Structure 1
């Protein structure tokens, strides 16, 4: 029994790995083709587009993980069924429940490997990719670390702690340095938003450093035409996918504490848990299709079924998220609803083979 379980686990893992590799290559090709539209902006050329898609591919790869598990399980176990190996395994006394347990063991092993990759490697790579693209398109020197952004514009150094949707900034600092390296001017604004072709800074404190004296001025509001180009704002926007789970949790608390809309980020927070869980649900969902087509249907049919189910789950997941944001549903409910529907369908289908 131990050898049989090991054989099933190895088959599921190898099949899922191959499926993930093929899906990733296909996704990268489409991502690169889509990125060609941005070629020609500033210093952003084909080589930069290629590098950018390589930076951001780990994030998309993690998103494809559940679908790859579904397709890989269908093909690997389907191949065993096509060669009558599943019939022999069941003849040895292994029940459908035993096959499901072996498949889930394989899924848990894959999740253990994929989870650190999706929570640390992929967000860090995506942040680096966005910073690289932003620097290439704008020509500005930019450094991004988590939510913090540093930018240089001539003799000015701009530090932004939080970039929010709707062209809003929080905790903005502008430092002007003389050619000799001496601080000439410092500005702090509690918030800023873009409107009327200029940035409107609120809660402003200005500090002027003169020879032997320092002048401080407080303003309720101030206009600043040149801060950050609004054309680059979409790239500067803090994306949930570029944040680790702890950083995302802290950011949700920060937004709620400042009475800002946190639904988008809270939904992404709960979706971080549903991604690995959905891989296990895809495993459960694949088993009935494998046993239901032991005598009929080949690899092509199983591949088609896997693609259809995977696409269905993807679109239902997206639909649930959008509907939840539009109608103000609880983010936890929006994130878990597609998972619950497919889990119920998989368990219901498995009852036919008990």
Structure 2
């Protein structure tokens, strides 16, 4: 029986790896197409875009892993069904649940690969890719440090402690030296927003340091003529889906201590926690579809069914994520509800098939 279990498990694993081998090059083309507009800016050329694409692929592989597992199980086990091997196993007394268990053994290995990819490989590759892209696009006038984002902006030195998005900043320091008057102008703004093609600073404290002393001026709001592009700032924002679980946990604690909304990061955190369960649930879904269909069903039809189920799952999971963000639904429930719904449906189908 162990030989049979390994045979079924490797059918699932082989189908999944084949699916990833087809989908990842297609995703690479899409990523590269998105970078075409940036090619030619500063030192960002085709070689840098290709490297950024390659370093981005591990994260996308992690995100599509459950769908690839579903399609892979349909392909791998479907090939056995086409050759009547699953029928022969049933005729020999192998139960449906034994076939499911063997498929889940392959799914466990795939889930471990997905966790390694999403928690170790993808964050490091993504961080490196974003850093290379930022350096190429900024022309070495910007740098990310533990003290925030630093940039040289038309003679001024800018330090941004928190980038919420490309168009929303918090805790900004601007330092400028005026050689003609021999003064240092230090400006601190609680926040800044990009609207109508211009930055607007909020809650400003401006200090002028000279030989005569220090003059402090407070302004509620003022325009900021800056060369910093929101597109450049977006590449240094911490994308919640690109962070590992422990990184998300620390970021959520940091935002909670500072009384900031961490809803997006909490949804991403619990989504990563339940990711292995999602990968296994896709095998549960694939098995009754194969056992309940005719062995003459073509491979193209099986792949189409897998893609449609994948799209349905994406829509359901996005709906629950929006419910968590907009209506305050518990992030854990929003993350675990879609896999549980699909597992329940798969178990009902397995009972009918069995």
Q: TM-score, normalised by structure 1?
A: 0.84
User: Residues 319 and 146 of structure 1: is their aligned pair in 2 closer, same or farther, counting only changes over 3 Å?
Assistant: farther
Residue matched to 2:97: 97
Matches within 5 A, 1:123-138: 123-138=123-138
Match of 1:120, SS state, is helix
Query: Which sits farther off after the overlay, 322-331 or 141-150?
Result: 141-150
Alpha-carbon distance in structure 2 between the residues aligned to 1:288 and 1:145: 52
Residue matched to 2:180: none
Q: Is contact 1:157–1:174 with CA below 8 Å preserved after alignment?
A: yes
Matches within 5 A, 1:25-44: 25-44=25-44
Query: Which sits farther off after the overlay, 290-299 or 266-275?
Result: 290-299
Residue matched to 1:181: none
User: Residues 157 and 318 of structure 1: is their aligned pair in 2 closer, same or farther, counting only changes over 3 Å?
Assistant: same
Residue matched to 1:194: 193
Count of residue pairs the alignment pairs up: 346
- 1:161 deviates by 3.7
Q: Is contact 2:166–2:233 with CA below 8 Å preserved after alignment?
A: no
Residue matched to 1:16: 16
1:62 matched to 2:62: yes
Alpha-carbon distance in structure 2 between the residues aligned to 1:281 and 1:321: 19
Query: Which sits farther off after the overlay, 262-271 or 222-231?
Result: 222-231
Q: Please provide the CA RMSD for this pair.
A: 3.2
Alpha-carbon distance in structure 1 between the residues aligned to 2:147 and 2:338: 30
Per-residue CA distance 1:124-161 (angstroms, 9 max, x = gap): 22222223223333324444468943445587654444
- 1:19 deviates by 0.8
| Consecutive unaligned residues in structure 1, runs of 5 or more | 178-183
Q: Is contact 2:166–2:234 with CA below 8 Å preserved after alignment?
A: no
Alpha-carbon distance in structure 2 between the residues aligned to 1:204 and 1:229: 23
Q: Is contact 1:171–1:190 with CA below 8 Å preserved after alignment?
A: yes
Matches within 5 A, 1:108-187: 108-144=108-144, 148-153=148-153, 158-165=158-165, 167-172=167-172
Q: Is contact 2:55–2:126 with CA below 8 Å preserved after alignment?
A: yes
Alpha-carbon distance in structure 2 between the residues aligned to 1:65 and 1:46: 28
Query: Which sits farther off after the overlay, 104-113 or 333-342?
Result: 333-342
Residue matched to 2:333: 333
Alpha-carbon distance in structure 2 between the residues aligned to 1:187 and 1:335: 45
Q: Is contact 1:198–1:226 with CA below 8 Å preserved after alignment?
A: yes
Match of 1:39, SS state, is coil
Q: Is contact 1:206–1:218 with CA below 8 Å preserved after alignment?
A: yes
- 1:270 deviates by 1.1
User: Residues 147 and 317 of structure 1: is their aligned pair in 2 closer, same or farther, counting only changes over 3 Å?
Assistant: farther
- 1:319 deviates by 3.0
Alpha-carbon distance in structure 1 between the residues aligned to 2:65 and 2:248: 21
Match of 1:15, SS state, is helix
Q: Is contact 1:194–1:230 with CA below 8 Å preserved after alignment?
A: no
Per-residue CA distance 1:299-342 (angstroms, 9 max, x = gap): 12211111111122122222332343233322223222322221
Query: Which sits farther off after the overlay, 258-267 or 321-330?
Result: 321-330
Query: Which sits farther off after the overlay, 283-292 or 330-339?
Result: 330-339
User: Residues 198 and 264 of structure 1: is their aligned pair in 2 closer, same or farther, counting only changes over 3 Å?
Assistant: same
- 1:84 deviates by 1.7
User: Residues 188 and 58 of structure 1: is their aligned pair in 2 closer, same or farther, counting only changes over 3 Å?
Assistant: farther
Q: Is contact 1:147–1:163 with CA below 8 Å preserved after alignment?
A: no
Match of 2:345, SS state, is helix
Query: Which sits farther off after the overlay, 124-133 or 160-169?
Result: 160-169
User: Residues 3 and 231 of structure 1: is their aligned pair in 2 closer, same or farther, counting only changes over 3 Å?
Assistant: closer
Matches within 5 A, 1:270-349: 270-349=270-349
Alpha-carbon distance in structure 1 between the residues aligned to 2:143 and 2:104: 42
Per-residue CA distance 1:153-183 (angstroms, 9 max, x = gap): 5876544443213734345456779xxxxxx
User: Residues 74 and 195 of structure 1: is their aligned pair in 2 closer, same or farther, counting only changes over 3 Å?
Assistant: closer
Q: Is contact 1:140–1:152 with CA below 8 Å preserved after alignment?
A: no
- 1:263 deviates by 1.3
Residue matched to 1:244: 244
